[in-house]
Each structure stands twice: as structure tokens, then as C-alpha cells.
Amino acid sequence: MKKLIIFVLCLSLSIGAKVRADEGMWLLPLLEKFNIEQMQKMGCQLSADDIYAINNSSIKDAIVRFGNGCTGEIISNNGLLITNHHCGYSSIQKLSSVEHDYLKDGFWAMNMSEELPAEGLTVTFVESFTDVTKRVLNYLATAANEKQRERLFNEISKKIESEAEAKDPYVKGKVVNFYNGNIYYLVITKTFKDIRFVGAPPSSIGKFGGDTDNWMWPRHTGDFSMFRVYADRNNNPAEYSDENVPYTPKKFLSISLKGIQENDFAMIIGFPGRTTRFMTSEEAKEAQNISNRISIFTRGIRQDILMEDMNSDPKINIQYADKYTSSSNAWKKWIGMNETFDKLDVVQRRAEEEELFDKWVSENPSRSAKYGNAIGKINGYIKNRAGIMAASRYLTETLDRIELTSIAGYANRKNVSEERMENFYKDYSMPTDRKVASAMIKIYRDSVESRYQPDIMKTIHNEFGGDVEAYLDSLYSNSVFTSMERYNGAKADSALIASDPATAFYNSVREKKREVSNEINKGYDTYSEGKREYLAGILEMNGDKASYPDANSTMRLTYGQVLSYSPRDAVEYDYYTTLDGVMQKEEPGSREFTVPAKLKELWKNKDYGRYAMENGKMPVAFLTNNDITGGNSGSPVLNANGELLGLAFDGNWEAMSGDVIFEPELQRCIAVDIRYVLFIIDKFGGADYLLKEMNLVR
């Protein structure tokens, strides 16, 4: 164990001699050690301290985690924040109504007093990273097995985190593991809860192209929205209050009006959610043939039901807009991932990597002792759990998607939030949910073997003759959870809530999920041990070659270039798109390709102001070869001087396996050009007053 500790610490100081400029989600505290020299060779004009510093303001202080799954950046000294439209979508939806449909019509607060509180939204700043690997691994050294290791890790993590939090009541500490438990960092953050909606274009701009263009290039989407961070009078986090004032940041980003050229240096800082770059062949098979396949099938059916009702009723359209978008985004990604897994032979390439690893291990008795069984532990566990994993995925994607039973489960907990109940019913359509329930119950019944069927299925069979529709007629007629009014009339009677038929359904599914989870966990300790050994072995095998840990929602930096690409023979994609392409894609009256009349007028008159390119055209989106994934949405694309060029919002279809294997020739990040953003704010939205807060540079 001591040798591993020494090796890992040395590795963190030495790797990077062969850094690939276009691949990697790098830890900011280690930029000086193994990135900044290469970045500067590519044109970066900044020092590592300019990007990440603890004692001085740096670019990292302007980058935030927006909500629970996106990135945003501060662009003024008054806490003005910009992120993607699809990142702000949920908050915009919650603030919308049939009378004030901010999704459809857009919204601009013309002064701070008109900004709308975004209930439940948070913004989190990173204060610092501290390497605590030696302390954690020393504490874990006495663990005899994985369960003891987990217990000891929880103990030492809590102690380290408590020590940090005792120094400042406004911060939160979290010990985060990297490389499957081979390296540990203490991450200190500060979270703000008073966030207000400033503005966004209509979805016809912010979501132009919808599902059809999602993950595709060429792209013509003005994917941005704006919020403001508020603090108490001492600039500290506080709950919403009229007494709060705009937050004064340590750092905010300047905005470049110069634009981009191909091969320009570009870097992105954000919070990538999850990658599995060290996935084995069996794990890749499971992802493709079980997780992705089942989710694609079930979500496709559910989404069709939602869309039919959304198209028939404006109220339902608002209620289910965010639910549909959240589901379909991942659904289409999984479709693309499965396609690229086949096209790029991902499983076979992983198997070949395992063969090379095993060969390297077998050449040395010491390595054989440490790593000889690692791949076998991983792949053996994954093979054995195939059936139960399919049942688990079906449970998650079908029976767990019934809203009536989900809210019944929540209502049976202690300390039920009235606010949460009200928010649920605001966005709930009982007839829509009943259609979904019918489809989901039938899918699960027909797709999963009998031993994984919850007892509620026996009720449907025994009491309703297997007639799902008859069962649902009874469920939705007799449950008190079908409306806020019925729930309010019953909530004081805990016995009635507990005996509700929707509660019975929820409890039955929960019990089966517990059984399934327990079965999945059999052998998991061996798998976890194998993953840690495999990663340690890979690090040792790679020696001084560049290496970065999988994404885990911690702040990362990726750097590369503005770059075009060729997706297939005889096809060349340029590195930028223009407003001309928006007009070429227009389909009047369609859900996805409608163009606002005012935007068409601005285009016809070429009324682009100072935001046009040298050729007179209006830029919309551009490409870089930066390494991103989910969670990077809203991340700033920065030039060599650290100035804002645009906002990352998507990847490209041809490299949908990128979470598993990076494809340097194909993988691209799609970003909205900041000049298009400013043009929409100014010329289209008429909110040019916001530009006065910003530092616009050429």
C-alpha cells in the first residue's frame, strides 16, 4: 500500500510529458505540473495561476456549477450569470403559465426589480482543491475488505470535511475520489440559493432544431439563458429575501467581440458529469445491450405519449416540456452511442486493451500478484449480473415513471413539503399519466421474467383478470393523489394516505427494487476491488504518459482548438454556422424550426450591428475539439486570453461513444457564438442595458 501511495503521488507530479492537446478533462490544481507548458505552445497567453489560484482571484472564480447538472459563468461585477437555454429550461418552465409562457415567448427583465426568483435553483462556486490522498489511504490501510474500506472512508471523509467547514460556516467540504479510489481531493465549495431569472430568448431561438438537430452538426441554436446571483449585505449566501443584493464576484469573464478563426486556441472550464474511459469490454457490452437498449425502447414509447398530449393542449405542453426534454436528450444520446459503439468497434477495442494489459501484467511476478485478477473480477461480475441488470433497468424506466405512484411514495414520508406537493400538481396531467402508466405496466409485464415481477402484478392478475386497463380505472378513480384538491382533503388522515391504492403500488415496486438491488450487490465488493486494481495497474503501466481521471462532476479544464471535421468520405463540415442557416432550415408552423418574425426582419435588413463577422454574416455556432460531456453544458469557451467566445452546449453525433473512448478525428464540442448571444440580447430582445454591465473587448 505504501508503494502505491508513493507511486500515485509521484505520478500526479510527473505525468504529462506527452499531453494530447485535444483530449483530457484535467484537474485545475495540476495545470502547472503538466498542462500549462503545452497550452502556451498552442497559443494560450495565461499562466496556471491566472486560471486557478487559491489566494488570488482567477478564472475558476467566475465558473459555477449551475443547478445540479450544468455549468454557468459570471459575466459582470453584479453577479450576472449566463448558461445554456436548456440548462435554465426547468426554471423557465416553472415560472411559465398559459398566460405568461416564457418558454414560447421568451422573457427579459428590463431592470433588476423585474427579475424573477428561480425557486429551488442554486449556484455553486469552487473555493479550492486540496490533495488528501496520503491521509485517506493511510487511514484505509487497515481495511481487510471492501465493506471495512467503505466504512473507514466515510469516517475519514467526515473528519476532513468537518475540519474544513469549521473554518467557514458558508462553505461545504467534500472528499472526492479519483481513479476508482487511488487518489483523493478535498473540494471546498460555496453555494448560493437566491438566484433570479434575468432573461432568455423564446424556444424558437434557444431550442431551435429541437430533437431533430439535437447532437447534430451543422447547428443553429441560440442556446443561452441569463440569471443573477444574489447575496446578503455581506456578500454571503442567503435564502431569498428582498433585502439581498447582487453578488459581487471575485472574478467575472470579459467577453470577446473579435470572434474566432480555425485553429485558434480554445479552452473550456466546467463540471463534466460522468465518463467511463476505463470501461472494460464486458462493461461496454452491458451499457450497449442492456442499459442503452432498454432505455431507448421504453423512453421512446413514453415520449410519444407525452408529445401527443403536449401537442393537443397548451397547458400540458408547458407542464411536460421539461420532463420531455430531459428524457429525450438522454434517449437520443443513447441511440447515437449504440450506433457509434458498432461503427467504431468500441467493445473490440476495449478487449484488445485488456489483452495488452494482461500481457504487461504477466511479464512480472510482482505485477501478477497485484493486478493479475483485476480484469477477471470486473468482467466476471458484469457477466453474472446480466439478467438482474435488465430487470433493474426496466424497473427504473417503466414502473418508476408513473407519476401518481411516485408522488404517493413521497407523501408517505415524514416532513412532507407542501411546496413540493404544489409544484408536483402544477405540472401534472392525470389523463397523461394514466396513458403512461398503461404502457409502462404492460412493457414491464411482457419484458421481465416472473421472478422479478412485483406483487402488484399478481393483484392485477388475480383481482382484475390481468386487465391492466380495468386495474388503472380502479387505481385512478380511488386514489387521493390524482389532484391537489383530493390530496388536501385526505392528507390529515395518515391511515388513509398509507392505505391508498397508489401507495400500495409504490410499496410493491419499492420492495421489488430492494430485492433487485440486493441481488446486484452480491459480488459487488469483488468488482469494486477489481476496478481499483485495474486503474492502479493502468497508471503504473502508462508510466509518464498523460493520464486524467474520469469525469465525476468536479471542475475540469479541457483545451484544444477551433476546428472543422470530416464525418465521412467526401463530406467536410465547416467550423461555424450563420444566421443564413437558420432561415434555410425554417419550416413555418413546425414545432422545431419556426423562426420569429423579428429575427427574420433583422436578417433581411442585415441589422447585426457590431456582432457581425468580417464577411457581414451573423455567426451562430462553432466547433472546437475540446473534450466535454454532460455537465459541461453552459461551460465557457475561452480564447487564449481567457475571454469568453461562446457557450458549450452539445457534442456531435459521429462521436457519441465519447464518454467511453475519445475520438480525436471525430469528436467535437458545439458552442453558441457569444456574438450571436449579444445580438439576440441587444437587437432581438431589446435588453441592451445588460451589455452595459459587461466588459466587451476586441
116 and 45 in a single domain? The answer is: yes
Do 375 and 490 share a domain, yes or no? yes
CA distance 102 to 109: 12
548 located within any domain: no
**Mean local confidence (pLDDT), 334-350:** 96
Residue 390 lies in domain? 281-526
In this predicted structure, the answer to whether residue 544 has a pLDDT above a threshold of 80 is no
Report which of 209, 152, 208 is spatially closest to residue 184, judged by C-alpha positions: 152
> Are 154 and 196 in the same domain?
yes
Indicate whether 396 pLDDT > 50: yes
Domain count of the fold of the chain: 3
Q: Indicate whether 386 and 441 sit together in one domain.
A: yes
- Assess if residue 387 is contained within a domain: yes
Q: 651: Cβ–Cβ under 8 A, 6 or more apart, which residues?
A: 215, 628, 629, 658, 667, 668, 669, 670
Sign of CA dihedral 57, 60, 63, 67: negative
Of residues 17 and 563, more confidence is placed in 563
User: 349 in a domain, yes or no?
Assistant: yes
Q: Are residues 627 and 673 in the same domain?
A: yes
> Is 8 a residue whose pLDDT tops 60?
no
**pLDDT for residue 508 is more than 80:** yes
Residue 541 domain flag: no
Question: Dihedral sign, CA of 164, 168, 169, 172?
Answer: negative
Catalytic, 633? Answer yes
Task: Look at residue 34 in the predicted model and tell me its pLDDT.
Answer: 84
CB 244 within 8 A of CB 230: yes
Mean pLDDT computed over every residue of the chain: 95
- Please check whether residues 689 and 583 belong to one and the same domain: yes
Cell numbers standing for residue 300 = 421512446
Judged on CB neighbours under 10 Å (0-12, 13-18, 19+), 42 is middle
Asked whether residue 539 is domain-assigned, the answer is: no
Residue 597 resides in a domain: yes
231 lies in the same domain as 326? no
| pLDDT exceeds 60 at position 541 | yes
Q: How confident is the model at residue 547 (pLDDT cuts 50, 70, 90)?
A: confident
Q: Do 168 and 237 share a structural domain?
A: yes
pLDDT digits (tens, 9 = 90+) for 308-336: 999 999 999 999 999 999 999 999 999 99
Nearest partner of 491 among 445, 427, 422, judged by Cα: 422
pLDDT tens digit sequence for 288-305: 999 999 999 999 999 999
**Distance between start and end Cα atoms, the chain:** 54
User: Which of left, alpha, beta for 345 (phi over 0: left; psi -120 to 50: alpha)?
Assistant: left
Catalytic residue among 50, 223, 309, 682: 223
Q: Do 515 and 370 share a structural domain? A: yes
* The pLDDT value given to residue 22: 66
Contact indicator for 679, 654 with CB cutoff of 8 Å: no
What is the domain-level CATH number for residue 588?
A: 2.40.10
Both 188 and 294 in a single domain?
no
If pLDDT is split at 50, 70 and 90, which confidence band does 13 have? very low
pLDDT of residue 1 exceeding 80 = no
Could you say which of 85, 86, 500, 627 is catalytic?
86
For residue range 52-62, list pLDDT tens digits in order: 999 899 999 99
- Separation of alpha carbons 551 and 26, rounded Å: 9
Instruction: Of 14-18, 40-44, 80-84, 440-444, give the lowest mean pLDDT range.
Output: 14-18
pLDDT digit string (tens) for 662-681? 999 999 999 999 999 999 99
CA 559 to chain centre: 20
Residue 188 CA to residue 186 CA, distance in Å, equals: 7
Is the link from the previous residue into 218 a cis peptide, with omega within 30 of 0?
Answer: yes
532 domain-assigned: no
Q: Does 480 share its domain with 565?
A: no
Pick from 669, 656, 638, 674: which is nearest to 563 by CA? 669
- Rounded to whole angstroms, the Cα distance separating 665 from 507 reads 50
pLDDT band for position 19 (50/70/90)?
A: very low
Whether 125 has a pLDDT exceeding 80, the answer reads: yes
| pLDDT range class, residue 198, cuts 50, 70, 90 | very high
Percent of the chain with pLDDT over 90: 95
Residue 546 banded pLDDT, cuts 50, 70, 90:
low
| Cβ proximity of 309 and 324 under 8 Å | no
610 in the same domain as 561: yes
Q: Is the pLDDT of residue 475 over 90?
A: yes
3-state secondary structure of 529: helix
Per the annotation, the verdict on 223 as an active-site residue is yes
**Catalytic residue, candidates 204, 528, 633, 657:** 633
Collapsing DSSP to helix, strand or coil, 227 comes out as strand
Compute the distance between CA of residue 544 and CA of residue 341 in angstroms, rounded to an integer.
29
Digit-coded pLDDT (tens) for 649-661: 999 999 999 999 9
Residue 273 lies in a domain: no
